[in-house]
Amino acid sequence: MPRLAAALDQINRTVGATVRWLALVMVLVQFGAVILRYVYGISFIFLNESVLYMHAALFMLGAGYTLLVDGHVRVDIFYERLPVRRRALVNVLGAALFLLPSTLMIAWFSWPSVRNSWAVLEGAISVGGIPASFLLKSLIPAFCGLLAIQGLACLLRDIALWRGGAEAA
């Protein structure tokens, strides 16, 4: 199980290493848009929309990587005090009862909208914007898939940890 979990981790590690560059590109494009608008009085809707697209892609595609590096916010008062195997059990239950079913439900209910958007190649959000809303909507199932992959990797690792202790994981 740990070998499969490591292989699944690699998917989100690769995606995370790729999409993190969007943060830099997004800052540069936003900076350029601000300079154009306030210094030269020129504004382009597609430029502003591109920041929206990059922001969405960064967060939706980076969610699995964030789970991989345990970067999601936790509000716990008991979890940190639990022994390692108990924490693994809490993680197994959380992944099996909440994370994986949630990602499946989001994917299931968003799919008709994504499919319809692709069927008509849905255009821009605003007049003069990027004519590719279908790509923006496609981030939803991608988010679900990457988060489910990482959730499965965490589940496998936590099952091994719960069953056999730290040596097994």
**pLDDT of 152 higher than 80:** yes
Q: Which two tokens stand for residue 30?
A: 């936003």
Residue 155 within a domain: yes
Which structural domain, as residue segments, surrounds residue 39? 2-164
* pLDDT for the residue 106: 98
- Average pLDDT rounded to a whole number, residues 100-127: 96
User: Which tens digits make up the pLDDT trace of 66-86?
Assistant: 999 988 887 778 888 889 999
pTM: 0.88
Structural domains counted in the chain: 1
pLDDT band of 145, cuts 50, 70, 90: very high
**pLDDT of 169 higher than 60:** no
Residue 169 within a domain: no
Residue 90 within a domain: yes
